[in-house]
Amino acid sequence: MKKWKCTVCGYIYDESKEGIPFIELPADWTCPQCGAPKSAFVQIEGEETITGAASTVADKIVEQLAAYGVKRVYGIPGDSNLPLTESIRKNPNTELILTRHEGAAAFMASAHAKLTGEIGVCMSIAGPGATNLITGIVDAATDRAPVLALLGQVPEIFLGSESLQEIAEVDIFKSFCVYAEMIGRAGQTLKVVNLAIKKAYAAPGPVALSLPTDVLVDPLEEPIWQPESHLFKPDLFPGESIEKAARLIAESKRPLLFAGWGARHCRSELLNLARHIGAPIATTSRAKGVVPESDELVLGVLGSIGNRFAPKIVAQSDLIIILGSGFRQRNLVPEVDIIQVDIDETRVGKTFPVKLGIVGDAHHVIQMLMKTCSPKKTEPRFMEAIRAANSEYQALLEADARNKQRPIHPGAVIQALKRQVAKNALICSDVGDHTYWFYKRFVCEGQQTLLCANMAGMAFGIPAAIACQFAQPKRQVIAYTGDGGFGMAGMEFTTAVHNKLPIKVVVFNEGKLKNIKKEQEEYGYAEYRVSFPNPNFAEMAASAGGLGIRVSEPEKLDKAIRQALDSPLPALVEIMVDPNVYIKGIRRK
């Protein structure tokens, strides 16, 4: 008697148990487990089964990812990825974090990659599951975060037949991923998985693997690749360019450092270099918090969501040293000499001409400039202008802190948050008018920020906070969002509750998409379809098993935020904010 295996789901038809030879079954007979046609079955030898084989393609994918340090895969299981789900369950070094939506899973993977620098992994079923991942994967692409998307796919034998949930995954994901490929044979598996990871780190950016269900259950016993023998990161030390940069800095009277995401690990080195060459520091929005913004040489964020004082000082500089950024807002940079440093040569001089381009790691370049540049002090009139701008800025923040209007003023929320959060808190910001208030009015003094920066996608805040709390469980992690973003991703609060993650969520309840209202007004349009009724978000949080607090009076802000921060539960503070007070972006002519 013989055994036959379904190549779609792994079901075994055992002739000795069924009593009917497989070849005598009717032509229209289908697999009793998954419904695959008779033609999807192959004869097997011995006792091989989906679970009896030593290991499968799915097992090896998970084992290889674990070797690269992947501890969590974010996503939702379903028919086309069940073999992969089972392999994750069996592997003691990985776990599947169940999310409410695949879009949130992709944001979680992207946030993990941004925070840690290590690859983030998300997973979906075929069809709608895969397309739901796209926004978060594009966030990883535009913010250059190494992310791997594992895409369930219909069985290979059904490809091209317009099967249920079949889409051209590789074609779709290739348009925004640095690498996308389908694993069509067991022998491809380790080569393709390792190449995908190498490309994700090299770009950096997202990669995607399409995984037909029948291939996932194929046996594969090839040993995994050892990362230390296959993964190597660039270590660039430009030499001659550093000497040229040092000469330009020596010749300048008012140099200015402009730090981007590539300089995010250079806190002390940036400050030391700034004091060494007498240069103030501005940052991009993504690099907010890299240096303490209370330091007299730190100007805060330069950009459309930055404060209005930074551009005034930048305009007085005569040399800008951009470190680790492909800064694209040409209108905020004066017509002066620019030194631009980026590890990606395509980003150097991409938006505007530069006097000197240095292709290298910003951290190394900062260290080399410190050794090469001669010390100099900040030009007195330049320093006077910096102090005057800082003084004016502080007066603005103090006015916000004193504001007791009702409905609550957005600036009052920011200052209450600033008074209560930990010095090393990690704040994951969503996108909306509240984002402008935070980036313009919150002074980071050790706090770190995370943002869906280049894509500016709503619904990033809460998924990002969840991933960050997983990665750094002892840290105070805050999701800062508006009611628009919360409406899109608010149910992920239950994911935090389920996983006992004590994230804190601050929600601006304004009853409308206030940033869109602002844009309608700026372009001369009438306010239209930007308002919506909101439920009581605090009660929702409490009903989910967390702590929920609603605040309508400015005098109660500090107490509510403090109570949430002190709670061991996931906690949400819903703040009834004035929907008619908003803040505009910076557009220097």
Summarised one tens digit per residue, pLDDT across range 484-531 is 999 999 999 999 999 999 999 999 999 999 999 999 998 999 999 999
Question: Residue 370 belongs to what domain range?
Answer: 240-384
Same domain? For 91 and 198 the reply is yes
Residue 50 above 60 pLDDT? no
Mean predicted lDDT score pLDDT of the chain? 93
Question: Residue 586 domain-assigned?
Answer: no
DSSP 8-state symbol, 527: P
Q: What is the pLDDT of residues 175-207, one digit of tens each?
A: 999 999 999 999 999 999 999 999 999 999 999
* Distance, CA of 438 to CA of 564 (rounded, Å): 19
Indicate if 222 and 266 belong to the same structural domain.
no
Burial class (CB in 10 A: 0-12, 13-18, 19+), 41: buried
Give the H or E element holding residue 508.
Answer: strand 504-509
Q: What percent of the chain has pLDDT over 70?
A: 96
Indicate the pLDDT class of residue 330, thresholds 50, 70 and 90.
Answer: low
**pLDDT the model gives residue 47:** 44
Query: Which residues, other chains included, contact 27 with Cβ-Cβ below 8 Å and sequence gap of 6+?
Result: 38
Q: Looking at the domain assignment, is residue 333 inside a domain?
A: yes
Count of domains for the chain: 4
Going by the DSSP 8-state scheme, the letter that residue 519 receives in this structure is: H
The per-residue pLDDT for 48 is 44
Per-residue pLDDT reduced to its tens digit, 373-384? 999 999 999 999
What was the pLDDT predicted at 338?
Answer: 93
Q: How far apart are CA 288 and CA 267, in angstroms?
A: 11
Nearest to 363 by CA among 444, 250, 267, 298: 267
Q: What is the pLDDT of residues 275-328, one digit of tens each?
A: 999 999 999 999 999 999 999 999 999 988 999 999 999 999 999 999 999 877
- Pairing relationship of beta strands 3-6 and 448-451 according to DSSP bridges: unpaired
Does the pLDDT value for residue 561 go beyond 80? yes
pLDDT at 331: 63
Alpha carbon of 311 to those of 5, 331, 335, 346: distances in Å? 68, 10, 13, 26
Q: Cα angle at 47 between 46 and 50, to 5 degrees?
A: 130
Q: Which tens digit of pLDDT belongs to each residue from 453-464?
A: 989 999 999 999
pLDDT value, residue 484: 95
**Does residue 276 share a domain with residue 304?**
yes
Domain boundary among 384, 411, 444: 384
Q: Are residues 410 and 548 in the same domain?
A: yes
pTM for this model (two decimals): 0.89
Average pLDDT value for residue range 53-57: 84
Handedness of CA 286, 290, 293, 295 (dihedral sign): negative
Does one domain contain both 562 and 490?
yes
Q: Are residues 344 and 268 in the same domain?
A: yes
Region 398-414: what's the mean pLDDT? 97
Residues 466 and 547 in one domain: yes
Q: How far apart are CA 276 and CA 290, in angstroms?
A: 18
Q: What is the pLDDT of residues 135-152, one digit of tens each?
A: 999 999 999 999 999 999
Contact 560, 549 (CB under 8 A): yes
Q: In this structure, what CATH number is given to the domain that contains residue 15?
A: 2.20.28.10
CATH of the domain at 475: 3.40.50.970
In the predicted model, is pLDDT for residue 432 greater than 50? yes
The backbone torsions φ and ψ at residue 56, rounded to the nearest 5 degrees and listed phi first, read -115, 175
- Is residue 187 a contact partner of residue 244, using CB atoms and an 8 Å limit? no
167 and 69, same domain (yes or no): yes
Residue 52 inside a domain? The answer is no
